[in-house]
Structure 1
Amino acid sequence: MSNSSSERAQALRFGFSWPELNDGLFYSDVVRTSDSESTLIQFYSRKYKNSAPLQGWLQRIRNGQITVNGRVVRDPDTILSIGSELVYHRLPWKEPGAPYILEILYEDGDMIALDKPSELQVLPGGLFQQRTVLTQLQWRATKQSSSLVCCEPNPVPVHRLGRGTSGILLCAKTKFAKTQLAAYFADGTSYVGGNSKNNLELNARRKILKIYRALVTGIVCEDKVIVEQPIGTVQYPGVAKGLYVASPSGKPALSKVEVLERDVEKNCTLVKVEIQSGRPHQIRIHLSFIGHPLLGDPLYVVGGRPRCFDPEFVDGSFAQDGGFPRPAKPVPGDCGYTLHAHHVSLSHPTTNEVIEITAPLPPVLWTRQEAQETSVI
């Protein structure tokens, strides 16, 4: 089955404009034995120290943003007892600008493939809690259920693309499809590493193939490069769970890089990348590891490490809402690079039929020949 299938929703687009402010967030906790007899400020400043500094949590408590058993408590020295129900209300805020129009590349009763634009986050996180692909899918499902007799399932993404990455994003409409598609990604990643026998077995078993295009700095000399650098995490300001980097002690990862075109005058190379594992920021890390970071990448530099690396740096100030201010140093969600999930081949989660999906390339990722062919058309 290809993009020309009658089931394809060719050039079908949807999207709902973002409201000025999001709805804020509510975080719930129940006091356990280990936290009993703690004060309210001790509980939050210890358990959620990555969310806000001590003074920030004091501000939130005194501002009436925390309830204990349904009652607003403004005294930070309130003693907590076992079983107490705590709720912290993060006040609504204006999220950074983000596109909201999505194109449907493929859709049937089990799954939907979207062409995600750059600068749109897939799932909630950090400053982006509402301006995400997931929210647009939920709003679309709500509109469909109110206008149709039969309620459409609510699709959910089964993998992630970086906020600055564009292209194919697969979403499942049913629990079964979600389980199957998630297994495809997990299988590919789990078989990478070890020896060549493992990789041969991976090629035989793989039910999904992902191909990207990227523009990298410098001239890649070899026509084809296989990168097998493991990827791990390090502490990094503004990234609570750690920043993914090239690390000898990390998890196995494999990327196949193929040169499509070299531009000596602009000192950059257009490449095609097939990934056989799905580590976060894998392509950005692997290409920078071999000495060719993505053109415009604000974070990763040669060696697969961050541009500014000082794990001891901690900003003790806090923003207006009590939380830490946006890091001055680059973070993974920063955009500026050109990376596009161009083609996906997979076994349909219920029929096992092979599906080929292609997302149109942005002009900056065209080869000279593709540009000429497009101008002729």
Structure 2
Amino acid sequence: MDKFLVAQKDEWTRMGIQAWIHEQRVQVNGRAVKNNYRLKEGDQVELTVPPPEEVTVEPEPLPLEVVYEDDDVIVVNKPRGMVVHPATGNLSGTLVNALLAHCKNLSKIGGELRPGIVHRIDKDTSGLIMAAKNDHAHQSLVAQLKAHSVDRHYVAVVNGSLAHDRGTIDAPIGRDPHHRKRMAVEHQKGKPAITHFEVLERYRRATLVQCRLETGRTHQIRVHMKYIGHPVVGDPIYSSNYRKFAIQGQALHAKSLGFEHPKKGGRIQLESELPSDIGKLVQIFRQD
């Protein structure tokens, strides 16, 4: 029962579901059940979700590398190790906390925990991320993301030598049925996911690639590169030899970002340099 319920929504955790079952918030065919209840075809499952706890996300004057800013949009170069938005039990030290301190206003569409946030990058991925300062800008940027008109280019160091200089990975991504915190290529239940890649440099043990996202699934580049046999160097989830290299987290950087300005019109195209740790890693591979 707990495995079934935790797979229904990304934000639900196994521990939280087990607590709800213990509180008899879960019933099957009108009767309370335990965590280890095995579902049968035709079972009617009813879950009474408790009301959300009130949370307050406080502004924090954290360092921010602002790449672009006006009255509608702000784009920052997020460092590796910074979480994008707060979650229950982790309400400080995030990009949202820093944005709340830096900006007078952020859009409210994302709710209390995600004000201004229109897309995300992983905690241990560095690079460009945009946020909306008002609801109109938020709606425009989200619409552009859905229409695949936002340019998002990443640079990654991946294990091994790719067979082709460029290519497209078209493989649906969903929750890994065997590992709760992982994503995987799931042909039956996954959502469409497309990544275009191009080789920039080849080394003896690795390859520097540029990836362009056509869709924006969780861990998309990391999952797709693992799927074709070339996981991102340093990836603690999808690479088996991640401890071999002197980098904390995956060697993946959101290098460029392009979008139509939500109010003024016209194309905004931004770029950022590779962080120093990925730069040093590239130099090591070049000298190898």
Q: TM-score w.r.t. structure 2 length?
A: 0.69
From 67, 77, 91, give the equivalent of 1:129: 91
Which structure 1 residue ranges, 5 or more long, are not aligned? Answer: 1-46, 59-84, 91-98, 142-151, 189-205, 302-306, 308-334, 372-377
Pair member with larger Rg: 1
1:103 and 1:115 in contact (8 A); partners too: yes
Q: 1:153 aligned to 2:105?
A: yes
Q: How far is the alpha carbon of 1:235 from its aligned partner?
A: 4.0
Partner in structure 1 of residue 286 of structure 2: none
Q: Is the 8 A contact 2:125 2:249 kept in 1?
A: no
Q: Cα offset for 1:104?
A: 0.3
Please list the CA deviations of residues 25-83 of structure 1 after superposition, one character each: whole Å capped at 9, or x if unmatched: xxxxxxxxxxxxxxxxxxxxxx986327559x89xxxxxxxxxxxxxxxxxxxxxxxxx
CA distance in 2, matches of 1:127, 1:298: 23
**1:338 aligned to which of 245, 251, 274:** 251
Matched residues in 2 for 1:120 and 1:271: separation?
A: 24
Counterpart-to-counterpart distance in 2, 1:103 and 1:159: 18
CA contact (8 A) 1:211 1:274 kept: yes
Q: Which has the higher contact order (CA 8 A, sep 6+)?
A: 1
Q: Which amino acid aligns with 1:245?
A: A
Contact 1:121–1:128 (CA<8 Å) still a contact in 2?
no
Decide whether aligned partners of structure 1 residues 107 and 245 sit closer, same or farther in structure 2, where only a CA change above 3 A counts. Answer: same
- Aligned-residue RMSD, C-alpha: 3.1
Letter in 2 for 1:134: V
Letter in 2 for 1:272: Q
Q: Give the distance between the partners of 2:19 and 2:118, measured in 1 at CA.
A: 36
Match of 2:113? Answer: none
Matches within 5 A, 1:10-89: 50-51=15-16, 53=18
2:76 to 102, 105, 114: 114
Extract unaligned runs of 5+ from structure 2: 1-11, 24-49, 56-60, 108-115, 241-247, 284-288
- In the alignment, the residues of structure 1 paired with residue 279 and residue 179 of structure 2 have an alpha-carbon distance, to the nearest angstrom, of 36
Share of identical aligned residues, percent?
Answer: 31
Corresponding residue number in structure 1 for 2:187 = 248
Distance 1:279 1:87, change over 3 A: closer
TM-score (normalizing by structure 1):
0.54
Classify 1:220/1:87 alpha carbon distance in 2 versus 1 (closer, same or farther; 3 Å).
Answer: closer
Task: Give runs of aligned pairs for residues 1-377 of structure 1, distance below 5 A.
Answer: 50-51=15-16, 53=18, 100-125=62-87, 127-141=89-103, 152-154=104-106, 156-188=116-148, 206=149, 208-235=150-177, 239=181, 243-249=182-188, 250-264=190-204, 267-301=205-239, 336-366=249-279
Letter in 1 for 2:75: A
Q: How many residues align?
A: 225
